[in-house]
Amino acid sequence: MKNFIKIMAVAISLIIVTISCDDNIKPPEDIKVTGVTLDKNNISLVVGNTETLKEAVLPSDAKNKAVTWASSNSTIATVANGTVTAVKEGTATITVTTTDGGYKATCTVTVTKKPDEPDPNAGVVIAGVTWATRNVNAPGTFAAKPEDAGMFYQWNRKIGWSSTDPMINSNGGTTWNDSYPTGDTWETANNPCPSGWRVPTHEELQSLVNSGSEWTTLNGVNGRYFGSGNNKVFFSAAGRRTGINGALSTVGSSGSYWSSTLRSSYIAYKLAFNSGAAGTSDPGTIDAYPVRCVKQ
């Protein structure tokens, strides 16, 4: 019994000592921020583009890692949660600041303007021939962008047909013309190209093919670049409208572009390409294809 009492006394003493020690334990102090860095000190952006900067608050186990972002000139570049947006040409400084301690890091942003779009009236010279950089849209006009399909034309006719459905022509009509065109060349009176331009000959299309080409995508549109180096033009794989009923087909998988050269009755030469090859062929003149003009 005496031994039991002694054991209990020792146990109670240990408990008292443990409680006393716990009372003296202090919670760890908050770990303060000592600095901040950015993953990039300099970036270059084209107007309209964005890039995200990543900050690293030091030390890595700091309690308060909150930061704020600011731009020295928001008319040139803005920033939100580290994402920088280029607004206009110039230079701006992006600053990240820690809430704890006010530590800072900076990144210099250089903004350049967008490259000028090719002038459709200037053209690109390939093998001695000046090619337009865009398809014909409505008669006498170029499409807005190099990758735009424009309108489709039957051979030796000046009425354009829409390159998307529902089908409508440049005069507002919706009834397909299933008669064969007449004539032995693409006549000047029926030239759909803007002033100073004309439909290329078969020989000119063949020289374009001989200049080399590669299948590619421009702004999400399939097609081929013809030429080399800085002297290249993009032809979209715009498809066609079939002569029998004007149905739209092969959009995105093949491209066909008229020449002014008739091979025989109701058959004329055209540029033809897909992802595998490019060349010239001779379909019926009743079909409707895009037109890519050359300088007169």
Owning domain of residue 181: 124-295
Whether 40 and 141 share a structural domain: no
Round to whole Å and give the CA distance between 257 and 208. 12
Residue 197, in any domain of the structure: yes
Residue 18 confidence (pLDDT): 47
Q: Which residue has the tokens 């299948």?
A: 215
Q: What CA–CA distances, in Å, run from 134 to 105, 130, 140, 219?
A: 47, 12, 12, 14
Residue 280 tokens read as: 């010239």
- Judgement on whether residues 167 and 269 belong to the same structural domain of the protein: yes
Question: Could you tell me which residues come within 8 angstroms of residue 203 by beta carbon, excluding any fewer than 6 positions away?
Answer: 261
Tell me if the pTM is above 0.85: no
Q: Would you say residue 281 lies in a domain?
A: yes
Sheet hosting strand 67-71, strand order edge to edge: 42-46, 104-112, 90-98, 67-71
Same domain, 98 and 140: no
Residues 175 and 289 in one domain: yes
Domain boundary residue, one of 51, 85, 112: 112
Phi, psi (rounded to 5 degrees) for 69: -120, 150
> DSSP characters for 193-251?
SPTTEEPPPHHHHHHHHHT-EEEEEETTEEEEEEEETTEEEEEE--BEE-TTT--EE-T
Q: Is residue 243 part of a domain?
A: yes
Mark whether 169 and 193 lie in a shared domain.
Answer: yes
**CATH code of residue 61:** 2.60.40.1080
Q: What is the pLDDT of residue 21?
A: 46
3-state secondary structure of 160: strand
Amino acid symbol at 95: T
Say if residue 155 is in the same domain as residue 275.
Answer: yes
Structure tokens given for 20: 């006393």
- Return the residue matching tokens 């004309």: 198
| 136 domain residue, yes or no | yes
Q: Does 239 lie in the same domain as 168?
A: yes
Q: What 3-state class would DSSP assign to 3?
A: helix
The angle formed by the CA atoms of residues 194, 146 and 43, to the nearest 5 degrees, is 140
Choose one of 67, 82, 112: the last residue of a domain. Answer: 112
For 5, other C-beta atoms within 10 Å of its C-beta total 9
Low-confidence ranges of the chain (pLDDT < 50): 1-2, 4-5, 7-8, 10-12, 14-23
What pLDDT score does 112 carry?
Answer: 87
Same domain as 289, residue 156? yes
Looking at the structure, tell me whether residues 87 and 132 fall in a common domain: no
Same domain membership, residue 140 and residue 239: yes
* Count of domains observed in the chain: 2
Same structural domain for residues 78 and 130?
no
* pLDDT at site 17: 44
DSSP SS3 for 73: coil
In a domain, 103, yes or no: yes
| Rounded CA Rg of the chain | 35
Retrieve residue 106's tokens: 């900076």
Residue 20 in any domain: the answer is: no
